[in-house]
């Protein structure tokens, strides 16, 4: 989950109004107060207005790595990062491919009218949301995940540590400070930076210094050392691991969905949404009980790599 430019759809429409912009109302794109789930699956992007009890698949895509839904308050634009590139849907039925990107796209962030893409060839950005736009490379390592705070870009490189771009240059954070260079995901809650590794657990440090790093792993209560997604909400850390979802309340870890490979997690209020290798698991009571939403409810595939909520 990344910070979103909530007015993006409106700004885009205003920017191209002379060309006849008309953003479509996507499935579940009601007004304020409605909640829509978007799931990135191996067989496309699925949307649910019913908390996961029923799903509709948007258009035809495959091998979706992540999904980002950006709302104007009434309409929603959905961005799908896939092995064959980055796509956007503004009508809830069709997709437009962004040209000019090299290699698979693993993640994307929209901030205002700028879109950032994490690809196998590095991080790219464009100051226009037009699918035919030109992309600019931010020189650096390949990126499997990105997080944006203001002008700062955090890039999880997959095997070369954590890279941080301050607006002028990249800084690299690796071992021995980090417990591993295999950084798979990153999150910044405004105070701390959280780097999830694929083999050594979760590392946490103040975002003002990125040092020293406090490490949580299987030996200190984490479900497993393969951390695939991170979310921080109301002071609690949610770590999606290949062995379950672990939650840290400031003093101890509690694991939910033990034995389930959790790829990413999104939390709002008492609702927890977990993208897993066996569907979307949903808890509406802070983890007390769970339901597994799958292809039986219309999900495109039970292999879910990412989730976005609007």
d(CA 182, CA 200): 8
What are the beta bridge partners of residue 280? Answer: 275, 293
**CA 254 distance to own-chain centroid:** 23
Which of 180, 186, 178 is CA-nearest to residue 143?
A: 186
d(CA 254, CA 204): 18
The region, left, alpha or beta by phi > 0 then psi within -120 to 50, assigned to residue 145 is beta
pLDDT value of position 1? 41
pLDDT value of position 150? 86
Q: Identify the burial level of 214 via C-beta atoms within 10 angstroms of its C-beta, where 0-12 means exposed, 13-18 middle and 19 or more buried.
A: exposed
Measured CA to CA in angstroms, residue 120 lies from 85, 106, 177, 216 at distances of: 11, 8, 25, 28
In this prediction the pTM is 0.88
Domains of the chain with CATH codes: 8-309 (2.130.10.10)
C-alpha torsion 112→113→118→119, nearest 10: 170
Q: Which residues contact 197 (CB under 8 A, 6 or more apart)?
A: 178, 179, 180, 182, 183, 184, 203, 225, 226, 227
Q: What is the mean pLDDT of each run of 10 residues along the chain (310 residues)?
A: 35 28 37 70 95 92 95 80 94 90 90 91 89 83 88 93 89 96 97 98 96 97 98 97 97 97 95 97 96 97 95
Which of 264, 251, 141 is CA-nearest to residue 196?
A: 264
């Amino acid at each position: 989950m990344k910070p979103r430019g909530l007015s993006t759809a409106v700004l885009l429409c205003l920017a191209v109004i002379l060309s006849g912009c008309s953003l479509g109302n996507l499935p579940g794109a009601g007004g304020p107060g409605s909640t829509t789930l978007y799931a990135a699956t191996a067989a496309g992007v699925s949307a649910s207005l019913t908390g996961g009890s029923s799903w509709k698949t948007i258009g035809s895509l495959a091998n979706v790595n992540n999904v980002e839904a950006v709302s104007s308050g009434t309409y929603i634009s959905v961005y799908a990062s896939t092995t064959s590139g980055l796509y956007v849907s503004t009508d809830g039925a069709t997709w437009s491919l962004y040209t000019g990107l090299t290699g698979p796209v693993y993640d994307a962030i929209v901030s205002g009218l700028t879109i950032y893409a994490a690809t196998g060839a590095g991080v790219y950005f464009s100051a226009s949301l037009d699918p035919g736009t030109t992309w600019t490379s931010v020189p650096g390592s390949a990126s499997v995940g990105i997080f944006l705070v203001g002008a700062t870009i955090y890039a999880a490189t997959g095997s070369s540590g954590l890279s941080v771009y301050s607006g002028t240059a990249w800084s690299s954070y690796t071992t021995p400070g980090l417990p591993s260079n295999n950084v798979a995901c990153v999150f910044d809650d405004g105070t701390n930076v959280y780097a999830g590794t694929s083999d050594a657990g979760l590392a946490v440090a103040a975002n003002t210094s990125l040092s020293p790093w406090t490490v949580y792993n299987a030996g200190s209560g984490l479900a497993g050392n393969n951390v695939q997604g991170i979310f921080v909400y109301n002071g609690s850390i949610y770590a999606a691991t290949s062995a379950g979802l672990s939650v840290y309340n400031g003093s101890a870890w509690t694991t939910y969905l033990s034995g389930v490979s959790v790829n990413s997690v999104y939390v709002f209020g008492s609702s927890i949404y977990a993208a897993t290798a066996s569907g979307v698991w949903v808890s509406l009571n802070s983890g007390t009980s769970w339901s597994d939403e799958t292809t039986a409810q219309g999900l495109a595939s039970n292999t879910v790599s990412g989730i976005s909520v609007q």
